[in-house]
Amino acid sequence: MKVKEKNLSIVDMVETQVIASILEQEHIEAAIQSEVNIAFLVTGSLLTLEDDVNRLKDAGMYVFVHLDFIGGLASNKDGIQYLARKIKPHGIITTKNQLIKMARAEGLLSIQRTFLIDSSAINKSMSMIASSKPDAIEVLPGVIPKVIEDLCGRTDLPIIAGGLISQKEEVMQALEAGSLAVSGGNIDLWNMKI
């Protein structure tokens, strides 16, 4: 599969509705060998990042780097510029809304990760998302179909469910609730044909 680089939305990128959330370096090869076509890189350091991103891209995958988990990568304007200009992933994932705007300015797609712990957190997240205008939202934990359905009614942005999803049934429930896709670190889920 050949990755198209320019002017794609996250919705356009999704070929399989499971996204490989790569939590450990040794899982990169499993992601490459899997059915998924999008990888969330949630591990690594400045020493490994360029090679990791290139390996995934060379395998035809869209790659999003989680800024908050890459050792040595500053979560600031310089870090975003370095990532965009040197490493060249397709996009970023972050919990920090000021980084969403910076990433967009550098031509990177952006996913705002938010934690749904109570109704106050949901309301605060929706306010932050309206301000930062990411390309998609990753909601954690993704095992709350009722809340996912509610969020889908509040925003037109694509929602990716993630966190605590470990079984096919949970993937299907999140998708039925309206999620565009499900991100998961469970390698067994990466070969679901959905």
Q: What is the pLDDT of residues 114-128, one digit of tens each?
A: 999 999 999 999 999
Distance between CA 147 and CA 152 in Å, rounded? Answer: 9
Query: What is the sign of the dihedral through the CA atoms of 9, 14, 17 and 23?
Result: negative
Name the region of 71 (left: φ>0; alpha: ψ -120 to 50; beta: rest): beta
Whether 56 is covered by a domain: the verdict is yes
Whether 52 is covered by a domain: the verdict is yes
CATH number of the domain within which 96 lies: 3.20.20.70
Whether 38 is covered by a domain: the verdict is yes
7: pLDDT confidence band, cut at 50, 70 and 90?
Answer: confident
Distance between CA 108 and CA 120 in Å, rounded? Answer: 30
List the domain range (segments joined by +) for residue 135: 10-191
* pLDDT of 6: 61
2: pLDDT confidence band, cut at 50, 70 and 90?
Answer: very low
In degrees, to the nearest 5, what angle opens at C-alpha 70 toward C-alphas 131 and 137? 30
pTM recorded for the entire structure: 0.95
Each residue's pLDDT tens digit, 174-189: 999 999 999 999 999 9
Query: What average pLDDT does this structure show over 9-25?
Result: 97
Whether 1 is covered by a domain: the verdict is no
* pLDDT of 60: 97
